[in-house]
Amino acid sequence: MLFWMKRADTDMSDIRVKICGLKTQQDITAAAEAGAAYIGFNFFPKSPRSVTIQEAAVLAAETPMGLCKVALTVNADNDTLDAINAAVPLDMLQLHGQESPERVAEVKARYGLPVMKVLGVSNAEDIQRIEAYETVADQILVDAKAPKDAVLPGGNGVVFDWRLLAQKKYWRTPWMLAGGLTPENVAEAIRVTGARQVDVASGAERTPGDKDPARIKAFCMAAGTPRR
């Protein structure tokens, strides 16, 4: 089995960035030009970053080749996932709810797409939960656990203690760091955690749901992503 080792001497020249919650063609162009590797379409209706299936279908069709198109869903049932996958040409599914390892495996088998499972972290026990998903998910996204009164499961601009990841020396699957990342703190987050992939939503916005091309560019540059 392949193990992904977390390196302390991270070379930032090959960091892969995911820009999540894109809503316009201008957002996608900004992400592509900045050198992002992934873009995320948010299908959680309560989010200010959400798009309809029809809107996402148009955006995905216009996305440049080479960008991985990710669908963010929260505890979505099969009918919802069926409708999304039937209309939107996707490359990956992101499960951002309370999906069990069994549900992750079911979704992966049903749609034949790589699955990224999001796990919220606020303490050492949360780090231990990751292991149960590493054998079923294709990628793990480590996010800050949402506050108890939060409406959104992610994208709240909350940062967790990155030092918690020092407890996890090896990974069985690729992983991505999220949670309150911004152009101002992403380089430090990479240094502390050894992350090879990072995700940003609120940290690249003017206001919730309104992406700022300048902050997208600044985030990718701070992460060390080569521009296209």
Q: Domains of the chain, with CATH numbers?
A: 14-223 (3.20.20.70)
| CA separation for the pair 28, 209 (Å, rounded) | 13
**Residue of 9, 11, 14, 20 marked active site:** 20
12 has pLDDT over 50? no
Residue 14 known to be catalytic: no
- pLDDT tens column, 135-188: 999 999 999 986 566 555 545 566 889 999 987 888 999 999 999 999 999 999
Phi-psi region of 53 (alpha: psi -120 to 50; beta: other; left: phi over 0): alpha
According to the model, what pLDDT value does residue 2 have?
41
Helices (H), the chain: 25-34, 53-61, 78-87, 101-111, 124-129, 131-134, 186-193, 213-223
According to the model, what pLDDT value does residue 7 have?
36
Task: Indicate the pLDDT class of residue 84, thresholds 50, 70 and 90.
Answer: very high
Q: Counting every residue, how long is the chain?
A: 228
9 has pLDDT over 50? no
**Residue of 27, 143, 199, 220 marked active site:** 143
| CA separation for the pair 22, 19 (Å, rounded) | 7
Task: Indicate the pLDDT class of residue 196, thresholds 50, 70 and 90.
Answer: very high
pTM of the model: 0.90
| CA separation for the pair 220, 224 (Å, rounded) | 6
According to the model, what pLDDT value does residue 153 have?
58
115 contacts 93 by C-beta, under 8 angstroms: yes
Q: Which of 7-11, 39-43, 117-121, 202-206 is the least confident region?
A: 7-11
217 vs 9, higher pLDDT: 217
According to the model, what pLDDT value does residue 71 have?
98
55 has pLDDT over 70? yes
Residue 143 known to be catalytic: yes
